[in-house]
Amino acid sequence: MNEDERAKLILKILNRIYPKTPIPLKHKNNFTLLVSVLLSAQCTDLNVNNVTKNIYLKYNKPKHFVKLGRKKIEKLIKSIGIFRVKAKSIYFLSKQLIEIHNGKVPKTFEELEKLPGVGHKTASVVMSQGFGYPAFPVDTHIHRLAQRWGLTNGKNVVQTEKDLKRLFPKTSWNKLHLQIIYYGREYCTARSCYGLTCKICTTCYPNKKNPIQTKKA
């Protein structure tokens, strides 16, 4: 089975298991989505949602976070990892949105990636989940599974993104990146499957006996 055949099979299996893909990070608008994605670095979506559910009731626009200031933002998100770094990014990106973008989240990769604390992966999530633009955000789950499933050589997340975009139709990207994340959390976890037990791994590699070693992002 070549990589194109594996890609078609994987898409078929994922569409059957996850016909619907709700956005895991709870948000009120594209600004709060951007903030939540930024907060989710080295943190679970569940933890982010627990912290932000009360914050977004009162603070959900750039002007709110600028008015709060860094120290108060830190207090609001202190249960999240590297909260001081994230608070700094949230404060300065809020300020930049007001000064340059009239308080609106920009709709291009270039402008998003110029915002403090926003890298390509964060920008991809906002473009995909916020604006519906075809994008393929690659997180650690996707990077790991793309290697396990023989869809990339795993050199880095940049290469993984290129390979996945090449193998899957553009119309599937926005849904597929979420399907892979859900599947990686539920069936093909970092510390259980190792390419040997889940439905996709056993279908793609029915004769595999040794665990697959993956390279970290």
Options 72, 78, 139, 208, the catalytic residue = 139
CATH number of 30-130, picked from 3.40.50.300, 1.10.340.30, 1.20.58.340, 1.10.275.10? 1.10.340.30
Instruction: Please write the tens of the pLDDT for every residue from 145-181.
Output: 999 999 998 789 999 999 999 999 999 999 999 999 9
Q: What is the pLDDT of residue 217?
A: 65
Options 28, 121, 155, 162, the catalytic residue = 121
Which parts of the chain have pLDDT scores under 70? 217
Show the beta-strand stretches assigned E in the chain.
none
The single-letter DSSP state of residue 108 is: S
Contacts of 19 (CB under 8 A, 6+ apart): none
Q: Is 121 a catalytic residue?
A: yes
Residues 38, 90 contacting (CB under 8 angstroms): yes
Classify domain 3-21+136-204 at the CATH topology level. Endonuclease Iii, domain 2 (1.10.1670)
Q: What is the pLDDT of residue 141?
A: 84
